[in-house]
Amino acid sequence: MLNKKVKSIILAAGKGTRMKSELPKVLHCIFNKPLLGYVLDAVNNTGYINENFVIVGHEAELVEKYVKENYESAKCVLQSPQLGTGDAVNKAAPYLKDFDGYVIVVCGDTPIITSDTLKSFTDFHDNNAADLTVMSAIFENPKNYGRIIRDKNKKFTAIVEEKDATPEQKAVKEVNAGIYCINWKTVSNAFNSLKNNNAQGEYYLTDIVKWAVENNLNVQSYILDDNEEIFGINSKLQLAQATKIINRKSLIRLMDEGVQITDPETTYISPETTIGADTLILPNVYITGKNIIGSKCKIGPFSHIRDGAKIGNNVRIGNFVEIKKSEIKDNTNVSHLSYIGDAELGSKVNIGAGTITANYNPISKVKSKTIIKDGANTGSNSVLVAPVTVNEMASVGAGSIITKDVEAYSLAITRSPMKIFSGWVKKKIEELSGGNK
């Protein structure tokens, strides 16, 4: 149990030039969730943090809008112009004037970092009574990372950025992970002493290490076990690589919990989705957002489950099916080529192939709900125009367009009567051939 309060500062001001995008780097998404959201969730899920300061700069309004809409505990602080990471952290200083506790500093473009790691990192800092702790990692190829510099007694003395490093320093394999735990009361004065006499002309956050050493403070480094967690994103290629890493970790977790995934190479499942044991996931399934899927289900192949799905036990989702923001209860089948959006499906419902819940009114921009109650079924190529309810044990005929509620145990059919014109094809052939057979 920590004796200190903990706050976080998340660095999210950069433009991300290499992303080649008008969208701020930290708002690029993995599984429809912004990078910044992954970092904020990791910080908050430690259970230690009661307030977050998000440092914004490039397209600050967009970043602030996302933060305000999703995180009550976070406050955005503007850095303009962007003069480096040290300057960025210092922008939060006025809000921490009388704070006596720890401040965790994390980059907003590192979506793989976990709450467990941040919690262990904070515990390490606290247990060692440190004034400053830097997270580090060992890389065989440390290119582009700042190096952890130690003296002959292996005492941590400084961090040197690669562009400022000597050949000897570049050979060091221990690198700065870019995450810090600061005893704010003893270290905050360092930010008033930072200089920008470096290759970039910026105020480096890393220079607080040198300041702390010179002031005889307790400086520690916490060596990370899993190097992938500090993977930072600066390009669309790295965004794709991070997606692969997050997905692989998600699939491994699910398989360890008893989910059968036929082909992990073609399956993508968001880490916020939970799936019960003995559910079978067939190839080319894509599941994004927060979803709950029960046990003994069969999903896919080529199914797409979007955010907000709650699927019960022993449910079958066929191939080329899309599910969005819907609840599907136990023992229900949704057959191939169907779309179920903003809907509630009871138990033992059978959805025929090609069924669509027409949930969106393009004029009013309103999405409405479709309710299909226990035991009901729809024929192939049915369209249910929401808002509409199909009651218990009712049946919808194939090819029907349903615009009114269907009473229990009834059959609803809207298709026109079938007509047969005998000899019609033969007559047309003769007309086209000029009467010649």
Q: Are 164 and 196 in contact (CB under 8 A)?
A: no
Task: List 367's β-bridge partners, or say none.
Answer: 360
Tokens of 302: 């080529």
Residue-by-residue DSSP string for 57-92: BTBHHHHHHHHHHH-TTEEEEE-SS---HHHHHHTT
Tokens of 154: 């292996």
Tell the burial category of 199 from Cβ atoms under 10 Å away from its Cβ (0-12, 13-18, 19+): exposed
Strand 147-150 to strand 156-160: parallel, antiparallel, or no bridges (unpaired)? antiparallel
Catalytic residues: 336
Task: List 411's β-bridge partners, or say none.
Answer: 395
Task: List 55's β-bridge partners, or say none.
Answer: 11, 77
DSSP E strands: which ranges in 20-85? 29-30, 33-34, 49-56, 74-78
Q: Are 73 and 44 in contact (CB under 8 A)?
A: yes
Could you tell me the CA-to-CA distances from 29 to 23, 238, 355 in Å, in that order?
10, 12, 30
